[in-house]
Amino acid sequence: MRIGVDIGGTKVSCALVGEDKTILSKVSFDTRGGRPYSEVLRDVADSIYSVLDLAGIGLEEVEAIGLGCPGILDQQKGEVIYSNNIAWENVPLVKTLQTYVPKEIYVDNDANCAALGEYLCGASQGTNSSVTVTLGTGVGGGIILGGRIHSGFNSAANAVGHMVVVSRGVPCTCGRQGCWESYASITALIRMAEEIAAQFPDSLLAEVKRRSGHFNGRNIFDTARQHDEAALKLLDRYYFYVSEGIIDIINVFQPEMIVIGGGISSEGDYLLQPILAHVNKGVYCKQVPLPQLTIAKLNNDAGLLGAAYLKGYQATAVK
Ligand SMILES: [Zn+2]
């Protein structure tokens, strides 16, 4: 049995995972970022003991614990180097948690954990190489090569959201301009929706904004499904940008599969088909089979399951 913890900017989830990779018990709590990290980690420890109690299992029956966290992590030292979302810098994650929970503890970036979860139990199961892309508030990525998480020599290899797709485009939080994240995230989709609604004030898209006061992924896609021209124009633009990044990933990695996760992935085929059409036209090498493009299967559980299985699936041997 293993335990996976998914530390997010707003919520922390913890799950006990059985030998058959199913979740046996799960609890979550509000991160309440801004608190000292030791407080958050004490709550993580409490949640670990809660999932054990719920399942009637003792800590000695747990083989390993894994933690997924946004930002850049040092897997070897078990530390968070920097996490923008939780405002953590140089946090000794493993050392601190081990004072409450004396066990082997592994850490990795949350998007890497999600990619590992999809590889072990979800959409990319059975493949040898895959890239899982998360289209959410930002754009995250997790790379699995040869059945292991690919992290680069410095643990920072998965920042697919910061490939530039528009030269000198929209400024990004990383300091560059035109990053994929600034065009393919839900945040970007909403920004483009505001622009197009202003251009077409008589459109249903503009009406939706007036009525509901705000855009979100759901009301934008719903408006497009009603054949509103402004919304369709918006999605055309959005699909183009999403595809640009996916084509770059394919050209560099040629993974067997690209998995699309995150909030927007709930649109399923409505999202996938137009992206596939762009990708088919845009890839560099058309004479070889294309990677499969598919929607993530596990939603929020991907990160938890992946975290639980970090032991043995990181590229570098971690003590
Ligand atoms: Zn960037």
Structure tokens at 49: 């003991």
Residue 319 confidence (pLDDT) above 80: no
d(C-alpha 203, C-alpha 231), whole Å: 8
> Where residue 33 falls among pLDDT bands split at 50, 70, 90?
confident
- Which pairing describes strands 79-83 and 139-145: parallel, antiparallel, or unpaired? unpaired
Closest among 271, 272, 260, 273 to 299, alpha carbons compared: 260
Compute, in angstroms, the gap from residue 163 CA to the centroid of ligand 1.
7
d(C-alpha 301, C-alpha 16), whole Å: 12
Query: What are the helix (H) ranges across the chain?
Result: 37-55, 93-98, 110-121, 181-184, 186-199, 204-212, 217-225, 229-253, 269-282, 301-308
CB under 8 Å, gap of 24 or more: what pairs does 79-85 form? 79/107, 80/107, 81/155, 84/173, 85/8, 85/9, 85/33
In the predicted model, what is the mean pLDDT of residues 285-314? 93
Compute, in angstroms, the gap from residue 164 CA to the centroid of ligand 1.
7
Q: Tell me, what's the pLDDT at 80?
A: 95
Compute, in angstroms, the gap from residue 122 CA to the centroid of ligand 1.
28
> Where residue 174 falls among pLDDT bands split at 50, 70, 90?
confident
Structure tokens at 201: 């004030």
Compute, in angstroms, the gap from residue 165 CA to the centroid of ligand 1.
10
Please tell me whether the overall predicted TM-score, pTM, comes out greater than 0.85 for this model: yes
In the predicted model, what is the mean pLDDT of residues 69-95? 91
Residue 317 confidence (pLDDT) above 70: no
Q: Tell me, what's the pLDDT at 316?
A: 63
Compute, in angstroms, the gap from residue 253 CA to the centroid of ligand 1.
20
